[in-house]
Amino acid sequence: MRKIVHSDNAPAAVGPYSQGIRAGNLLFISGQLGLDVETGQIPYGDVEAQARNVLKNLATIAEAGGTSLAQAVKVTVYLTDMGDFEKMNQVYATFFPENPPARVCVAVSGLPKGVEVEMDVVCLCEE
């Protein structure tokens, strides 16, 4: 079973991809940027605010897919500056206070819309 997952309460895709795809008991959520859905703005220069928005957007899509970030099994974090690792990590820890998922964090030369952080996630879903 392959099902498209979409939430109007998360940023629309900026290309030809889905916000999420549910396949069996897994939900694959596409990379999210730090767009504040309420204001339509990205807090450029504030990696903590961007990380918070990214994680809120991921949580919103997870909910639309019938799960939550508490069921995350793998997160990938992309940073344009590894000097922001600790700031991002402090925000990240508030979303995963116990039993955090597996994770990788990589430095990249650039991200869409000039943001400083992007994340994607894979979550378990109830069958």
Strands 72-79 and 117-124: antiparallel
Active-site residue, 125 included: no
> What whole-number distance in Å separates Cα of residue 60 and Cα of residue 71?
13
DSSP letter at 40 equals T
Helix spans in 19-73 (H):
47-64
Tokens found for residue 60: 């919103």
Of the candidates 21, 37, 105, 124, the residue annotated as catalytic is 105
Detail the DSSP E strand segments found in 1-127: 2-5, 20-23, 26-32, 72-79, 102-107, 117-124
> What whole-number distance in Å separates Cα of residue 124 and Cα of residue 50?
25
Active-site amino acid positions: 105
